[in-house]
Homo-oligomer: A and B are copies of this chain.
């Protein structure tokens, strides 16, 4: 009989937490028990999942007693506080925040890209930033085929990445705009920002706080996380990250300079052969390409508009779209746990990392 696991979802009432529960059920994740945890504020809420009603409990260090997998999707501060406790109690933490991603000894994993990294964990595995996940899924196969020389990325990011309140605010702003009024604007670029901007019918070129050299953190995350995931510490990558009035689904315009020639047709083949990637691109049908609305709800990343860039010796332009809440967060986290389970069932019954 297949072993079943005790699973906790931390941040269960949030947008990603809710999606995690949904994806766990969809994928028949082998859980024996499911513990839904959240902040004291959200505790005692009832959540129905798979025909069962769960009561949300307040997440404390002791919540993780007996837990095998703890999927965290909470703010960095709470992850930093609780994830080590959970790991000490024997749980494998898969954390969706920025808290541990760049820590040595914490694997940062996209299962299709660097599955082996997962086994080096010491109790905590980090789930990468949403934009990074979909970008590296496109970049890694290109790198393997022809070597990445330089990448310029411009993102078109959905508001779901900023949480439920931001999605609600966008809808409110749209309603107000259509009525000739002004809606609330408190969530973009982020809650508590010194200036906030309306997102409806607008584009806001900032995601997360500013960090260094005029870059916002989403941009530096894309740089540092891609380097770690792909094992390319010197990868030349620069990004501009922009929030647009889309509810769900991130898109990225990627300009890629390669070391060796790779024709668009070859790039299509290489990408189409990559697990988790769907090429939606056909020179005979140029109006076919992915858009956020189309791919919302899907677990794959979708690539279109693959074409040569003749301004450099081996250049390509491409357009990469994915559901940022599924593959960019919930699904990727759960795939990480599935990798561990698979290795345990094939191996000695223990996760190699402990």
Contacts and interface: CB of A to CB of B under 8 A. Distances in A.
A336 interface: no
Contacts of A305: 205-206, 214, 240
Contact of A203 (B152, B198, B244, B286): B244
A235 to B, nearest CB: 9
What bracket does the count of chain A residues touching chain B fall in? 35 or more
A310 to B, nearest CB: 8
Interface string A171-215: 100110110000000000100011101100111111000100111
Contacts of A203: 156, 244, 246, 251, 291-292
Contact of A242 (B156, B195, B247): B156
A291 B201 CA distance: 10
Given A236-B311, A253-B240, A293 B202 contact: yes
Nearest to A156: B203
Copies in the complex: 2
Given A174-B174, A178-B174, A315-B238, A214 B309 contact: no
Given A152-B152, A156-B242, A215 B307 contact: yes
A287 B185 CA distance: 14
A84 interface: no
A242 B306 CA distance: 14
Contacts of A245: 201, 244-246
A215 B316 CA distance: 12
Contacts of A178: 171, 174-175, 178
Contacts of A204: 291
Contacts of A177: 174
A302 to B, nearest CB: 11
A317 interface: yes
Contacts of A247: 201
A238 B287 contact: no
Interface string A142-172: 0000000010101010000000000000010
Nearest to A245: B245
A308 interface: yes
**Which of A215, A283, A287 has the largest number of chain B CB atoms within 10 A?**
A287
Contact of A214 (B198, B240, B286, B312): B286
Contact of A292 (B174, B175, B202, B246): B202
A11 interface: no
Interface string A205-244: 1100010011110000000000000000000111010101
A152 B289 contact: no
Given A174-B178, A205-B291, A264 B317 contact: no
A288 interface: yes
A58 to B, nearest CB: 34
A237 to B, nearest CB: 7
Nearest to A291: B202
11 contacts: A150-B312, A171-B178, A195-B288, A202-B249, A205-B251, A205-B291, A205-B304, A205-B305, A240-B255, A240-B305, A242-B253
Interface of A: 150, 152, 154, 156, 171, 174-175, 177-178, 189, 193-195, 197-198, 201-206, 210, 213-216, 236-238, 240, 242, 244-247, 249, 251, 253, 255, 264, 283, 286-289, 291-293, 304-312, 315, 317, 319
